[in-house]
């Protein structure tokens, strides 16, 4: 009875005061709550509760070679195909998942969702030719501060479920660019174009590469990385993210 009362008290505080602070406090007592809704407990061994697992806004873009994800790169980047698992909107459960993945140490969210998406991609014929999975890299300074690369966590999950080699060090970020949040597409592109280098071209040249990031907004970062990869001889490129902003 006491535990139930404590839970109701803490949950009410989440709704009335500093959300992030009380969310972290509640996590000390109830660490296995669903990271998307923070109210229901997932089934044993699952990341998400049953409700969120079925009702998060999936795009189903992976079912078609050309889709609203790939359309954003028309005239910008010659890709084979591309997709995102979820729609991303401000204040949504998807945003909560991505926030915890990037800033709350929840590397497991990236791995588990990447693994889940990989199983979906295994059923799509246009993703069958993928030969290597490559994450968008973080600058070493940001990697040191965060402790891990969230895109690498996603690509590790994809690699496992798709049974495709994972190449986390073939693409490197050499400049620590300023935040992209408030920039236009052209400003973002100019800001990141020279930030990336291919450090191990022999691992990617001549292969079909799946480039992975967490969220696609304007696509400037994916475009900059993709141009570096496609500069390698006979290399093909597809793109994947956990979420796509509307």
- DSSP string covering 40-89: SPPPTT-SS-HHHHHHS-B--GGGSSS-HHHHTTTTT---S-EEEEEEE-
Between 148 and 11, the more confident residue is 148
The answer to whether position 15 is within a domain reads no
Rounded to whole angstroms, the Cα distance separating 65 from 57 reads 20
The answer to whether position 94 is within a domain reads yes
Q: Are 90 and 240 in contact (CB under 8 A)?
A: no
With a cut of 70, say whether residue 180 has pLDDT above it.
Answer: no
Integer-rounded Cα Rg, in Å, for the chain is 19
Q: What is the largest CA-CA distance in the chain?
A: 66
Question: pLDDT tens digits, residue range 53-65?
Answer: 999 999 999 999 9
Domain hosting 132: range is 59-175+184-245
Question: pLDDT tens digits, residue range 206-234?
Answer: 999 999 999 999 999 999 999 999 999 99
Rounded to whole angstroms, the Cα distance separating 82 from 96 reads 23
Q: Are 86 and 242 in contact (CB under 8 A)?
A: yes
pLDDT at 81: 98
Question: pLDDT tens digits, residue range 74-131?
Answer: 999 999 999 999 999 999 999 999 999 999 999 999 999 999 999 999 999 999 999 9
pLDDT at 24: 56
The answer to whether position 80 is within a domain reads yes
**Structural domains counted in the chain:** 1
**Rounded mean pLDDT, 170-184:** 72
Split at pLDDT 50, 70, 90, the class of 246 is confident
pLDDT at 1: 45
The answer to whether position 223 is within a domain reads yes
Q: What is the mean pLDDT of the chain?
A: 88
The answer to whether position 68 is within a domain reads yes
CA 106 to chain CA centroid, Å, is 12
Q: Which residues contact 15 (CB under 8 A, 6 or more apart)?
A: none
Task: Give me the CATH number covering residue 109.
Answer: 3.40.50.2020
Between 98 and 15, the more confident residue is 98
Give me the percent of the chain exceeding a pLDDT of 90.
75
With a cut of 70, say whether residue 178 has pLDDT above it.
Answer: no
The answer to whether position 45 is within a domain reads no
pLDDT at 47: 95
Rounded to whole angstroms, the Cα distance separating 207 from 204 reads 6
Split at pLDDT 50, 70, 90, the class of 2 is very low
Q: Are 208 and 238 in contact (CB under 8 A)?
A: yes
Rounded to whole angstroms, the Cα distance separating 232 from 220 reads 19
**Rounded mean pLDDT, 189-201:** 82
Split at pLDDT 50, 70, 90, the class of 192 is confident
The answer to whether position 50 is within a domain reads no
The answer to whether position 115 is within a domain reads yes
Q: Which two tokens stand for residue 178?
A: 């300023």
CA 6 to chain CA centroid, Å, is 34
**DSSP 8-class letter at 129:** T
């Amino acid at each position: 009875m006491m535990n139930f009362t404590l839970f109701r008290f803490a949950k009410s505080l989440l709704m009335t005061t500093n959300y992030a602070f009380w969310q972290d406090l509640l996590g000390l007592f109830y660490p296995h709550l669903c990271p998307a809704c923070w109210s229901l407990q997932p089934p044993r061994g699952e990341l998400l509760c049953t409700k969120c697992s079925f009702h998060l806004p999936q795009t189903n873009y992976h079912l078609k070679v050309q889709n609203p994800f790939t359309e954003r790169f028309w005239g910008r980047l010659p890709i084979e195909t591309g997709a995102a698992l979820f729609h991303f909107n401000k204040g949504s459960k998807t945003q909560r998942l991505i926030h915890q993945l990037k800033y709350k140490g929840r590397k497991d969210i990236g791995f588990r969702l990447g693994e889940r998406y990989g199983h979906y991609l295994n059923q799509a014929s246009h993703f069958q030719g993928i030969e290597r999975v490559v994450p968008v890299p973080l600058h070493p300074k940001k990697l040191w501060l965060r402790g891990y690369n969230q895109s690498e966590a996603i690509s590790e999950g994809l690699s496992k479920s798709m049974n495709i080699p994972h190449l986390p060090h073939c693409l490197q970020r050499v400049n620590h660019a300023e935040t992209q949040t408030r920039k236009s597409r052209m400003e973002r592109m100019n800001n990141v174009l020279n930030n990336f280098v291919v450090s191990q071209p022999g691992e990617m040249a001549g292969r079909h590469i799946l480039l992975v990031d967490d969220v696609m907004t304007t696509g400037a970062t994916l475009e900059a990385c993709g141009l570096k990869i496609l500069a390698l001889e006979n290399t093909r490129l597809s793109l994947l993210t956990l979420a796509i902003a509307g």
